[in-house]
């Protein structure tokens, strides 16, 4: 639901037997957190916010120890379909603010909003779509996860080899009921591995939707007696879980991917030229780096029109480009921070009138040492990614340097 006033929402709560309201937000790693309030507290939450113990949430435990409050965004209301219909539960995503209502300086959702305002000042809007992979594992008699995949299916398999099709169907129907539009779903390459793609939308909504999507997948999996994992490499030797980010920029209703080559190529070049600087924000765990270079996951900083194994893909159909795809991230990102920094890198490329390097139309299986020796690589460990981010002039000279530094220090302290 969207475009509802606070009074509309309060009326909805009263008329639809809503008994619990979840106020949700994300920690440093994009893991959803929430507090539930009763309906009579909702008006106060919109007006003043709800205080929480911020020092217990990774990423909000800063040295000043200020009181932080959750203020629900009315445009993000969703009924949770897997909760009882009698005594319904609704959920809002929240902005994190100080006691006087000003934004908390390390609220990544607010940082994304500020980044999108910067795009708006240029007359640009960005749309983003996602392809997210996850594994399903069997659980033991007590419901604890095992390391045994739910099935032994392979890429695009069908039943009986694919045992996850009914779970994916339930996930897609639940997402659709919540206003999130899946495009496709299928069994992926790994045993028990699945992928669901959902349609592009504005970047803030899509970032919210990724958090919702992961929560839906985990809940529907649990209802079916299995465990869902978005870990970058949950099964040694098998393909890892990636998150492919599809983006396109618009001026009004015009897709700039074809209509403004200078802008679109400058934007893509800005991201490519800063990949080593920003990889930490797209791959924030040690096992994120174990999948690079394996099973079609990217390793080299290259782009292609037709090759699916490249880091950066700009597909053409009938001579036209509609979007580009960044293939290195994984679903353990904080989607607000990651999306904002990708856009910031792209805008830096536009401002500097940067040019795309030549495309590399070589399949990974045919990559020779002679070719690869001349290519720049992604950071291949978390420590290397941290070092790249700490030494980045792009980050040091940006208006989000304090946010990035805070994030880097928290990542270092938790790994």
Statement to judge: residues 94 and 136 lie in one domain: no
- pLDDT score at 374: 83
Which of 72, 105, 138 delimits the end of a domain? 105
Statement to judge: residues 123 and 75 lie in one domain: no
Please say whether the beta carbons of 278 and 342 come within 8 A: yes
- pLDDT score at 318: 80
The answer as to whether 307 is a domain residue is yes
The answer as to whether 194 is a domain residue is yes
Report the domain count for the chain.
2
CATH of the domain at 40: 3.10.20.70
- pLDDT score at 114: 97
- pLDDT score at 309: 81
Which of 62, 79, 105 delimits the end of a domain? 105
The answer as to whether 1 is a domain residue is no
The answer as to whether 110 is a domain residue is no
CATH of the domain at 323: 3.30.590.10
Least confident of 11-25, 200-214, 302-316, 342-356: 302-316
Statement to judge: residues 136 and 42 lie in one domain: no
* Percentage helix, strand, coil for the chain under 3-state DSSP, each rounded to 5: 35, 25, 40
Statement to judge: residues 27 and 121 lie in one domain: no
Statement to judge: residues 157 and 279 lie in one domain: yes
- pLDDT score at 1: 46
Statement to judge: residues 97 and 121 lie in one domain: no
Statement to judge: residues 282 and 306 lie in one domain: yes
Report the C-alpha gap between 116 and 327 in whole angstroms: 22
Statement to judge: residues 121 and 65 lie in one domain: no
Statement to judge: residues 10 and 86 lie in one domain: yes
Statement to judge: residues 147 and 59 lie in one domain: no
What would the pLDDT profile of 351-391 be if each residue is shown by its tens digit? 999 999 998 887 766 777 777 778 999 999 999 999 999 99
The answer as to whether 193 is a domain residue is yes
Instruction: For the full predicted model, state whether its pTM sits above 0.85.
Output: yes
Statement to judge: residues 195 and 337 lie in one domain: yes
Give the pLDDT band of residue 291 (cuts 50, 70, 90): very high
- What is the mean predicted confidence (pLDDT) over 60-76? 87
In DSSP notation, 246-297 reads EEEEEETTEEHHHH-HHHHHHHHHHHHHTHHHHHHHH--SGGGTTSTTSTT-
Which of 41, 75, 105 delimits the end of a domain? 105
In DSSP notation, 103-171 reads BPTT-HHHHHHHHHHHHHHTT-EEEEEEEEEEEEEEE-TTS-EEEEES----TT--TTT---HHHHHHH
The answer as to whether 257 is a domain residue is yes
Neighbours of 384 (CB within 10 A): 16
Three-state DSSP state, 237 = coil
Least confident of 135-144, 217-226, 362-371, 397-406: 362-371
Statement to judge: residues 216 and 89 lie in one domain: no
Structural domain boundaries enclosing 96? 6-105
């Amino acid at each position: 639901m969207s475009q509802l006033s606070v009074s509309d929402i309060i009326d909805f709560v009263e008329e639809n037997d809503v008994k619990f309201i979840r106020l949700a937000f994300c920690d440093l790693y994009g893991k959803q957190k929430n507090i539930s309030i009763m309906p009579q507290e909702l008006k106060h939450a919109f007006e003043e916010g709800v205080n929480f113990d911020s020092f217990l949430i990774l990423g909000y435990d800063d040295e000043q120890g200020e009181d932080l409050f959750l203020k629900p965004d009315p445009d993000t209301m969703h009924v949770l379909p897997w909760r009882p219909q009698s005594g319904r539960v609704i959920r809002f995503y929240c902005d994190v603010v100080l006691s006087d209502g000003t934004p908390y300086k390390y609220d990544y959702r607010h940082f994304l909003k500020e980044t999108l305002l910067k795009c708006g000042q240029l007359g640009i809007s960005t749309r983003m779509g996602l392809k997210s992979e996850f594994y399903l594992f069997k659980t033991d008699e007590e419901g604890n996860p095992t390391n045994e995949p739910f099935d032994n299916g392979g890429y695009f398999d069908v039943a009986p080899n694919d045992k996850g099709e009914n779970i994916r169907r339930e996930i897609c129907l639940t997402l659709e009921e919540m206003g999130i539009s899946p495009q496709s779903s299928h069994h992926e390459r790994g045993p028990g591995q699945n992928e669901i793609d959902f349609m592009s939308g504005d970047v803030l909504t899509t970032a919210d939707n990724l958090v919702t999507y992961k929560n839906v997948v985990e809940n529907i999996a649990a209802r079916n007696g299995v465990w869902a994992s978005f870990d970058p490499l949950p099964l040694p030797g098998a393909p890892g879980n990636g998150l492919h980010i599809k983006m396109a920029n618009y001026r009004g209703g015009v897709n700039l991917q074809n209509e403004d080559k200078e802008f679109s190529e400058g934007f893509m070049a800005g991201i490519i030229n800063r990949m080593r600087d920003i990889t930490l924000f797209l791959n924030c765990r040690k096992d994120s780096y174990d999948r690079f270079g394996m099973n079609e996951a990217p390793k080299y900083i290259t782009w292609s029109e037709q090759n699916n194994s490249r880091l950066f893909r700009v597909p053409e159909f009938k001579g036209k480009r509609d979007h580009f795809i960044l293939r290195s991230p994984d679903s353990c990102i904080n989607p607000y921070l990651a999306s904002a920094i990708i856009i910031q890198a792209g805008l830096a490329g536009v401002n500097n009138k940067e040019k795309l390097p030549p495309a590399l139309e070589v399949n990974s299986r045919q990559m020779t040492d002679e070719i690869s020796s001349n290519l720049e690589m992604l950071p291949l460990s978390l420590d290397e990614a941290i070092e790249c981010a700490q030494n980045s002039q792009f980050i040091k000279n940006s208006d989000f340097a304090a946010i990035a530094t805070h994030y880097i220090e928290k990542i270092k302290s938790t790994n």
